[in-house]
Amino acid sequence: MVRVADVLRSEERRALAALEPGERVALALRLGARDLESFRLAQAPALDAVLADRALRRRRQLARRPSRCLQELIG
Determine whether 55 is exposed, middle or buried from the number of CB atoms within 10 Å of its CB (0-12, 13-18, 19+).
middle
pTM here is 0.68
- Cα–Cα distance, 35 to 63 (Å, whole number): 19
Residues in the chain predicted with pLDDT less than 50, given as ranges, are: none
The 3-state secondary structure of 25-48, one letter per residue? HHHHHHHHHHHHHHHHHHCCCCCC
Q: Which residues contact 27 (CB under 8 A, 6 or more apart)?
A: 16, 19
Question: Which pLDDT score, from 0 to 100, does residue 58 have?
Answer: 83
Question: Which pLDDT score, from 0 to 100, does residue 74 have?
Answer: 65
Question: Which pLDDT score, from 0 to 100, does residue 75 have?
Answer: 57
Question: Which pLDDT score, from 0 to 100, does residue 71 have?
Answer: 73
